[in-house]
Structure 1
Amino acid sequence: MYKILQKARNKLTKKIDTIPFIRYYAELAYQTELEKHISNLPIISISDLDLVNKIKHEGVVITSLENLKISSNSKLFQAAENLIPKISPSISARKNDFTIHASSQQIMEYPEIFLWGLEERLLNIVENYLGLSVAYHGAYFRRDIANQVEQGSRLWHIDKEDRKVLKIIVYLNDITEDKGPFQYIPQALTAKLVQSLKYTSGYIRDQTFQGVVSPANYRSCTGVAGTVIFAATSSIFHRGKPPVVADRFAIFFDYTSRRQKQLFYCNSSLPYNDLLLIAKNLSKEQKDCIFWQNS
């Protein structure tokens, strides 16, 4: 029942948001919030500031766990390697299924995965990109099956949960062009396509998409296990290219601002009771990122 009500709320809010004067005043409020928060932005290193600026201007930055040098990298990767064999390759009987997610029970068995997304340095990078306080929506550990299904996130789309959405993607196996890379359209071209397509939300099939943009403009994020992708998924057309020769294993860490009334799909990857357990030894700042809806 809750999900039905949430979908109805999202649909109504989206319709309201298209009304010109509503959009105008919403933009004014948003810009005011950004200006107020500037003095509260955490100070970050020059290299991290450069990373943030690249995300802002290019929409995607590809790096690696090795380059990031975050203290809990080894714990993350070891936990992921232990969990991979437990993610069954069997999909449900529904013919259009293409991905298997680790259950909340499995994530709680390996909390290092969820906790990596709360590393202070990462949160500071995210906050400097968003320009506002961070809401952490959790870690989504997924196995994308090598099949020909083109549904959901395998279709071209732009994330509309917030004005700015940032996802950090960690590849857990080597990803080549035929192993399901994250694909995107450069930010500048995306802006033009949004205008020409009059795009507001939803999914676009690749066959349809190729009618308006050449595949030569597709950018595939390939890389070895440990590759890390910072993706501003609210400002780029993107999709997960269907893997052909092998399944893709990856973790998606999702972030938005805490602007509750303007957000769609405000769920966490873990149930509330699990969040309480996993947050016991966290700092106040980290807890605020998890329990942002209560603040």
Structure 2
Amino acid sequence: MFNRYLSYLDIILEFISKWTCSPYLTGYFKDICSYFFRKPEALQHLKKMNFRIDFDAKLLKKQGYVKTYSEDLYKEFLPYIKKIDDHKFESIGRSKPYFYNFLNDQIGGEYYQKFLNIGSNSLLRDDLESVFGKLGFIGGGIYRSPGNSVNDNFPKGSQLWHIDRYSLKTIKVFINLSEITEEMGPTRIIASNHSIKLLKNSFFRRVFRRNNIAKGVKGLYMDKKKFAYYAKEKHGSNIGVPGTTLIANTGLCIHQGSNNRSSNDRFILLFHYCAWDRHIEKQKPDLLLGINTRFLK
């Protein structure tokens, strides 16, 4: 019942945000609610995991993302890719056939629990909370983007430029488990100060129904020329060798997961944190940690 009311609230906030040119209204409201409706986590019995990522906290806070390197986490989860190769997976019937999660408790075993423990109770989480305040760990996993998964005619979902409207503090940590090149379809992101300008413009054009627009996700409309400049010249990405890490506040920054045009599969490890931890979609209760993890099956 509570989640049903939240879904209605989402619809109302989306409508108001468009017609008041306030693209961050939904996330702002949820961040306020998070102080009153945060879910408890049963972490007392867990040992603190000694995994952390060195990053420039000032730069992360200033531009909304930072690129760094994490050798420890890359090496820790790299063997899991062999488990993926040993299983035959079909993308048919998946909500995102171009990008799907293979970390689960059925074949993940120790890696699955290790992932949950690191995400929930590690120095990595402590370091992120020192920048953004209290965050809930809501999941992520190991994602595979198959080679030749080009979808130019009908891009959808995370292939489109968008913001995550769960919270203004939606923090994602992308760690390359394979080399990622421009051809392999990296995650692209536009700095928060540029994103704010583009989004205000996009909602203004939405309200007054201007024709010179580029459509994105859920009413994300922007001036074509201005957006094309930022998307081409002013964006960051996770292009790099295995271990390359992109830490991003996707609640403030416009971003996309682009097409994999190469013949090789792309693998990333993703940790997802959020100030608003009451997600509605695709949650799985985890009795060990007392949390609802998102996208983990």
TM-score by length of structure 1 reads 0.69
Moved more, 186-195 or 81-90: 81-90
Task: Assess if the C-alpha contact under 8 Å between 1:157 and 1:203 holds in 2.
Answer: yes
Task: Assess if the C-alpha contact under 8 Å between 1:182 and 1:221 holds in 2.
Answer: yes
Moved more, 139-148 or 94-103: 94-103
**Partner residue, 2:181:** 176
Q: What are the superposed Cα offsets for residues 242-294 of structure 1, whole Å, 9 maximum, x if unpaired? A: 1101221112211012x46xx654754xx22xx224x3xxxxxxx6xx369xx
**Partner residue, 1:231:** 248
1:168/1:109 CA distance change after superposition, 3 Å: same
Give the Cα–Cα distance (whole angstroms) in 1 for the partners of residues 99 and 53 of structure 2.
Answer: 32
Question: How far 1:223 sits from its partner (Å)?
Answer: 1.0
Question: How far 1:232 sits from its partner (Å)?
Answer: 0.8
User: After the TM superposition, which residues 172-251 of structure 1 pair with which residues of structure 2 at under 5 Å, given as runs?
Assistant: 172-198=177-203, 203=217, 210-213=224-227, 214=229, 215-245=232-262, 246-251=264-269
Identical amino acids, percent of aligned pairs: 22
The equivalent position to 1:57 in structure 2, one of 54, 62, 85, is: 62
Task: Assess if the C-alpha contact under 8 Å between 1:59 and 1:187 holds in 2.
Answer: yes
Which structure is higher in helix share? 1
**Partner residue, 1:137:** 138
Q: What are the superposed Cα offsets for residues 151-208 of structure 1, whole Å, 9 maximum, x if unpaired? A: 1111100111012110011111100111111101122211110111117996189997
Which structure is higher in strand share? 2
Question: How far 1:102 sits from its partner (Å)?
Answer: 1.5
**Partner residue, 2:47:** none
**Partner residue, 1:10:** 10
Question: How far 1:50 sits from its partner (Å)?
Answer: 6.3
User: After the TM superposition, which residues 56-75 of structure 1 pair with which residues of structure 2 at under 5 Å, given as runs?
Assistant: 56-66=61-71, 74-75=75-76
Task: Assess if the C-alpha contact under 8 Å between 1:130 and 1:164 holds in 2.
Answer: yes
Question: How far 1:233 sits from its partner (Å)?
Answer: 0.6
**Partner residue, 2:48:** none
Give the Cα–Cα distance (whole angstroms) in 2 for the partners of residues 249 and 291 of structure 1.
Answer: 24
Question: How far 1:116 sits from its partner (Å)?
Answer: 2.6
- Tell me, which stretches of 5 or more residues in structure 1 are unaligned? 34-46, 280-286
Give the Cα–Cα distance (whole angstroms) in 2 for the partners of residues 115 and 237 of structure 1.
Answer: 29
Q: For 1:212, what is the secondary structure of its paired residue?
A: helix
More relative contact order in 1 or in 2 (CA 8 Å, sep 6+)? 2
Q: What are the superposed Cα offsets for residues 216-254 of structure 1, whole Å, 9 maximum, x if unpaired? A: 223332111121211111111100111101221112211
RMSD of aligned residue pairs (Cα, Å): 4.1
The equivalent position to 1:161 in structure 2, one of 163, 166, 173, is: 166
Task: Assess if the C-alpha contact under 8 Å between 1:183 and 1:218 holds in 2.
Answer: yes
1:19/1:194 CA distance change after superposition, 3 Å: closer
The equivalent position to 1:121 in structure 2, one of 120, 123, 126, is: 123
- Tell me, which stretches of 5 or more residues in structure 2 are unaligned? 36-51, 207-214
1:2/1:101 CA distance change after superposition, 3 Å: farther
Give the Cα–Cα distance (whole angstroms) in 2 for the partners of residues 204 and 11 of structure 1.
Answer: 11
1:125/1:158 CA distance change after superposition, 3 Å: same
Give the Cα–Cα distance (whole angstroms) in 1 for the partners of residues 239 and 61 of structure 2.
Answer: 21
Q: Look up the equivalent residue of 2:183 and give its one-letter code.
A: D
Task: Assess if the C-alpha contact under 8 Å between 2:150 and 2:259 holds in 1.
Answer: yes
Q: Look up the equivalent residue of 1:130 and give its one-letter code.
A: F
**Count of equivalent residues:** 252
